[in-house]
Amino acid sequence: MISADQLTKVYEDDVMGLDHLTLEVKPGEIFCMLGANGAGKTTTINLFLNFIEPISGTAFINGIDAVKDPLEAKKYVAYLGEVVQLYGNFTAMQNLDFFTKLGGKKDVSKKEYRDCLRKVGLPERFFDTKLKKFSKGMRQRVGLAIVMMKDTPAILLDEPTAGLDPRGAQDFLDMLRVLRDQGKAVFMSTHDIFRAKDIGDRVGIMKQGVLAMVLDKEDLEEEDLEKVYLEYMRGWGVD
């Protein structure tokens, strides 16, 4: 569903952003990408969304080349970033309506929007409240509602729990599990080793643009992920 083959990005200042990344995230799977700042996690997401162009390799969303035909590929992927404040002067309903329409859906009823906001756990009294009064956690719930309304087979999440309190982060992950159970392929970048272990079906460790290791569910049960991660990082002599 989400796949990359030898995907490589070198920035203008010759910094290696991504080095021959090859991976596949299957439907009904959550792939968590761990890595320090600048490791290439966000670069990977940006390449899938065609925000930047690779120097070589391919990125596919639902079998569509995201580099050659980005607009078509974007029909099948929903994205949520870390810093999504959304439009503060708009209510949760208005924000949801706007981004749902951008996603290509028309004639969505208010009831559907309300149901979706209910599903992400936003209290009913906040549906018609302007977002400038929302906490980060509440905004992130609206963000997830936007993702859910787009209803795509692939989901890209860029550190979506950063800055959320433990309860908020846990709620978020619970909702993510629901999406996985619906058969969606989720690629999530994160710094949070424990949450990656908790939610990820597979966890990748990335360093200096290279996907150095991928651990599956069994590996994760057997290994101490924190130890593996830190040792791996130390082994490379950086960070």
Partner 1 sequence: MIRTIAKREFLSNLMSYKFAVGMALCLILLPLGTYVSTRNYHRRLERYELDRDAHQRELTKLHVYSALHPQVDKRPPVLSIIAEGLEERLKSTVRADRHRVPCLEGKGGRMALSRNRYAQAFPSLEIVWLLAIILSLVAVLFAHDTVTGDRELGTLSLTLSNPVPRHQVLLGKYLGGIGSLFVPLLAGFLAVLVVMNLSAAVSLSASDWLAILIIFLLSLIYLSAFFLLGMTVSSLTRRSATSLIILLAVWVALTELLPNASFFVAKNIMPVASMEKTRTEKRAVEEQKNKEISKIWETAQQRAQRGELHILLNKRDNNEKGQLFRFISPETAEFLKDAFGEFETIEVKYADKMAWQDQSYVRQLERQWWLADILSAPSLARPFSSTVRALAGTDVEAFKSFVEKARQYRLEVLAFVEAQVTSNPYRFFTDDPVEEIQKDWPRALREERISRAELGEKMKTADGDPRRLLDLTSMPRFSPPKEGVLERLSRRWRDLTILLLSNVGLFLLAFSLFLRYDPR
Chain residues that interact with partner 1, rule: CB under 8 A: 42, 46, 49, 51-52, 71-72, 74-75, 77-90, 98-99, 101-104, 143, 146, 150, 156
Q: Smaller CB distance to partner 1: residue 96 or 205? A: 96
Q: Smaller CB distance to partner 1: residue 31 or 229? A: 31
Nearest approach in angstroms of CB 152 to partner 1 is: 10
Nearest approach in angstroms of CB 211 to partner 1 is: 20
Q: Smaller CB distance to partner 1: residue 71 or 109? A: 71
Nearest approach in angstroms of CB 80 to partner 1 is: 8
Nearest approach in angstroms of CB 51 to partner 1 is: 6
Q: Where are the alpha helices (DSSP H) in the chain?
A: 41-48, 70-73, 92-102, 110-119, 136-150, 166-181, 193-199, 217-222, 225-235
Q: Smaller CB distance to partner 1: residue 88 or 123? A: 88
Nearest approach in angstroms of CB 235 to partner 1 is: 30
Whether 131 contacts 115, CB under 8 Å: no
166 CB-near residues (< 8 Å, 6+ apart): none
What does the alpha-carbon distance between residue 142 and residue 40 come to, in Å, rounded to a whole number? 27
Query: What 3-state DSSP class applies to 109?
Result: coil
Sheet with 56-61, strands from edge to edge, namely: 16-25, 2-10, 56-61, 64-65
Q: Around 56, how many Cα atoms within 13 Å sit in the side-chain half-sphere?
A: 5
Angle at 47 between CA 43 and CA 50, to 5 degrees: 135
Q: Smaller CB distance to partner 1: residue 71 or 111? A: 71
